Chains A and B, each alone.
Chain A
Amino acid sequence: MAETINKEKAPLKEKKPLFEFGKKERKLITDPLNDDNPITVQVLGICSALAVTTLVYPSFVMTIAVIFVCAFSNLFTSLLRSYIPKAVRMIVQLVIIATLVTIVELTLKAVNYTVYKQLSVFIGLIITNCIVMGRLEAFAMANKPWRSFLDGIGNGLGYGAILLLVGIVREIFGKGTLFAGSPFGTLKFIGASPDYLINTAATSGFDSWFGWYQNNGLMVISASAMFIIAVLIWAQRAWNTKLIDVS
């Protein structure tokens, strides 16, 4: 009797729990941050990285939106993967993504209208953000839902890390501030132009500390994001030499 129970239990032990979080799963999240970064290595989803990064706060909102869309579209596509016919899979995937993006767009419109205006068409353009589509094709169509969900979160984070880095550099040098327009208040650096100060009255004794910084106009135009990403790629590949282009 006891033997039969053991025999039945043996294969059960090999079956993994539904929401396992081991080494492999952790790798799904950490890999896209460096070795397999969506922007600097896979070259996916660059358009929005350039357009929204003049300020940190909109980049932050964009990051949240992309993580949400990426994770859930991966999850739903993975759940449906055995029912989707090969011939129409692009359209099915696009409908899933478009539905999620519409949810994000309407939510943002209701919650924070100024940021919605700042991001304008770029929220809609998450649909054609190649990260989402690329991960669906490359990962979610061939993997289980939980792993696909983690992969979506990882790639969203990798994308967001670059977005925030570029945003921080552009906002500090372009405006002398950080987090302008966020509900937590704006962080100003000494020398920032008084237009961006909130507590000008309180700092009357230190007036000469402010306003001497000339905003760097280059950082405001979108071409500067290209240069910053180029420098990031340079730094990353100098440190992580296995990413260097051999050709």
Chain B
Amino acid sequence: MEYINIFIKSAFIENLVLSYFLGMCSYLAVSKSVKTAFGLGLAVIFVLGITVPINWLITTYILSPDGILGMDLTFLRLILFIAVIASMVQLVEMVIEKFSPGLYSALGIFLPLITVNCAILGGSLFVVTREYNFGESVAFGLGGGFGWFLAIIAIAAIREKMSYSNVPAPMRGLGMAFLLTGLMGIAFLSLLGIDPNAFN
């Protein structure tokens, strides 16, 4: 039950894109059509769901003073996390290529892009700062990925519709994408309930 809670919380209430604005670059660059957005969203769910628990294992059993090595190696955290993410992306790419060529060609160029998606590294760092346990980190990774997937599908659908609207020329494309994301972010704030601290 607790895991379902964390899943829902990370997917909707603390959405990585719309509440923390993480993973914005690929979110804005790849949201021109729903089809490509769908592929990238799926890939992000995969990678977040796998790397966040692995990075949790690394922090707990290797980097922390109580780990196997018995040394405080937390200063190596960033380098190790990014190495895990880069190698996981490569691994996921090879596995998908082997077992599902259809999905591989659908994701195509977007898979390597995920390495520099800050939602992935951000998710791994959040798990450390919030002191989740292993099960919670799995739920957080999958939930965060699912929330990212929903957000990019939503903005891509709106942007497709937007091409029929009469937008002032300087605002076309990027400008509208920024405005829409801001509005969606405010809409997602309502899921927080009323938090007086947010408006101090």
- What residues make up the interface of A, taking CB atoms closer than 8 Å to B? 40, 43-47, 50-51, 90-91, 94-95, 97-99, 101-102, 105-106, 120-121, 124-125, 127-130, 133, 215, 217, 220-227, 229-230, 233-238, 241, 244-245, 247
Say if the beta carbon of B68 comes within 8 Å of chain A.
no
| Sample of 9 A–B contacts (CB below 8 Å) | A43-B174, A47-B21, A102-B78, A220-B198, A224-B182, A225-B21, A233-B178, A234-B175, A247-B172
Contact of A220 among B20, B22, B168, B199 (CB under 8 A): B199
* Complex interface bits, B55-90 against A, C-beta within 8 A gives 1, otherwise 0: 000000000000000000001001100110011000
Give the CA-CA distance A230 to B82 in the complex, in Å. Answer: 31
- Are B83 and A91 interface neighbours, CB within 8 A? yes
- Are B170 and A237 interface neighbours, CB within 8 A? yes
Determine chain A's interface SS by DSSP, over half rule: helix
Number of interface residues of B (CB under 8 A): 47
Contact of A51 among B21, B75, B116, B186 (CB under 8 A): B21
Say if the beta carbon of B53 comes within 8 Å of chain A.
no
- Are A245 and B174 interface neighbours, CB within 8 A? yes
Binding stretch for chain A, among B2-10, B40-48, B100-108, B118-126: B118-126
- Are A46 and B28 interface neighbours, CB within 8 A? yes
- Are B75 and A129 interface neighbours, CB within 8 A? no
* Complex interface bits, B165-200 against A, C-beta within 8 A gives 1, otherwise 0: 000111111111011011101100100000000111
Say if the beta carbon of B1 comes within 8 Å of chain A.
no
Say if the beta carbon of B109 comes within 8 Å of chain A.
no
Give the CA-CA distance A230 to B125 in the complex, in Å. Answer: 29
Least CB distance, B26 to chain A, in whole angstroms: 8
Say if the beta carbon of B117 comes within 8 Å of chain A.
yes
Instruction: Return the chain A residue nearest B86 by Cβ.
Output: A91
- Are B126 and A247 interface neighbours, CB within 8 A? no
Least CB distance, B182 to chain A, in whole angstroms: 3
Least CB distance, B115 to chain A, in whole angstroms: 6
Q: Tell me whether A133 and B121 are in contact in the complex, defined as CB-CB below 8 angstroms, given that A94-B83, A127-B82 are known contacts.
A: no
A125: B residues at CB distance < 8 A? 22, 118, 121-122, 125
Give the CA-CA distance A235 to B185 in the complex, in Å. Answer: 23
- Are A127 and B78 interface neighbours, CB within 8 A? yes
B200: A residues at CB distance < 8 A? 215, 217, 220
A124: B residues at CB distance < 8 A? 78, 121, 125
Give the CA-CA distance A216 to B45 in the complex, in Å. Answer: 36
Give the CA-CA distance A224 to B179 in the complex, in Å. Answer: 9
- Are B189 and A102 interface neighbours, CB within 8 A? no
Contact of A221 among B22, B183, B189 (CB under 8 A): B189
What are the 7 tightest A-B residue pairs by CB atom distance, in nearest-first order? A226-B182, A245-B173, A237-B170, A217-B199, A223-B185, A230-B178, A46-B24
